Amino acid sequence: MTTPESEPLAELFKKTISHDWEQVFMEGKTKFRLPKECITGHVEGQTLKMLIHMSQARKVLEIGMFTGYGALSMAEGLPEDGCLVACELEP
């Protein structure tokens, strides 16, 4: 059992899971097929948040963020003056 996810994380997860990623690919809006299962899960997100908080990180670089669930999880673990930079190939 883990800490419940925040409202923004819950909303992002819901939207990601319900989105038609195959249609987005077929319309040429993404370079790659992006299965909804690529999203960071709740337990992984809470683990990332905890690791960022425990390590007292002030800066985070995420390479490959899909819809940003992992990035948002880590951002929630940063101090108020922390900084997160995320890089993603897809638009």
Token pair of 13 as six digits: 């997860």
Does some domain include residue 1? no
* Length in residues, the chain: 91
Does some domain include residue 2? no
Does some domain include residue 18? yes
Mean pLDDT, to the nearest integer, of 3-12? 96
Does some domain include residue 78? yes
**Confidence at 20, pLDDT banded by 50, 70, 90:** very high
Quick check: helix, strand or coil at residue 53? helix
Token pair of 88 as six digits: 């993603």
**Which residue range forms the structural domain that includes residue 29?**
7-87
Does some domain include residue 48? yes
What burial class does residue 52 get, using C-beta atoms within 10 Å of its C-beta: 0-12 exposed, 13-18 middle, 19+ buried?
buried
What CATH number is given to the structural domain containing 30? 3.40.50.150
Q: Does 1 score more than 80 pLDDT?
A: no
Does some domain include residue 34? yes
Give the number of domains in the chain. Answer: 1
